[in-house]
Amino acid sequence: MSHHRTARRSEHGDYQVRREKMVQGLADAGIKDRRVLAAMRALPRHVFLAEPLWPKAHHDVTLPIGFKQTMTQPLTTALMLEALALRENEKVLEIGTGSGYQTALLASLCAAVFSVERIAELAREAQGRIRELSIRNASIKHFDGTYGWSEFAPYDGIVVSATAPSVPAPLLEQLATGGRIVIPMSRNGLEQICVVTKTRGSLETVALALCSFVPLLGRYAYAEGDSEAGGARSGKRS
């Protein structure tokens, strides 16, 4: 009994040490936002993966979560969260819940998170993890996220975790003036994380970094089976 408890406690400590190292690596790679780094230091990451993948949970790689989808690599997640620059009182919309890892991070960075996932089973699993972690300010819905989630709009920030051909129109509509959309977009065969800022009457788009995500499939993005989808059909994806 006591052996068992000691083993469990050290296992917990081991993951904490791994997270510390992961976060140090993110800081070394140029992530400066202290709230993002603190959130990633505090939130367990391995529990968002199937147990056989736990040993790899803190490597800077994408990892499979089933249904041909992947958990985004930590540096990319950190970059996107930093670019969103969320304040504590803001509301965010996430498209592509996946494992729910980023959803949980968003929940600790702002007031409320609304997340949409097109694969029912992934949405259900992510919901379970969020509940298990006692996170109460995140809601997950199974739907085509290219429609956004109009009920709770406008959003101060929107983050899309799959590559789109352009910003889906409903997302632009549901963004508050002064709000930011962080979205990977594929243009001329080049996949880049872009930050789109909405000011009164105009949009400004800045490319942040090259990336490789799974395609955003839906009414206002790629059609299923679209050969253009994802731009980069091969290589590492997050």
List interacting residues with ligand SAH (CB under 6 A).
65, 69-72, 95-96, 98-99, 101-102, 116-119, 122, 144-146, 161-162, 214, 216-218, 221
Closer to ligand SAH by Cβ: residue 37 or 72: 72
Closer to ligand SAH by Cβ: residue 60 or 204: 60
Contact residues for 69 (Cβ-Cβ < 8 A; gap 6+): 98, 119, 122, 214
Closest residue to ligand SAH in the complex (CB): 98
Q: Which helix (H) or strand (E) holds 186?
A: strand 175-187
| Measured CA angle at 82 (ends 80, 85), to 5 deg | 110
Q: How far is the CB of 151 from ligand SAH (least distance, A)?
A: 16
For residues 147 and 170, what is the distance between their CA atoms, to the nearest angstrom? 6
Contact residues for 217 (Cβ-Cβ < 8 A; gap 6+): 118, 162, 223, 224, 226, 229
Q: How far is the CB of 147 from ligand SAH (least distance, A)?
A: 8
Closer to ligand SAH by Cβ: residue 128 or 178: 128
Q: How far is the CB of 219 from ligand SAH (least distance, A)?
A: 8
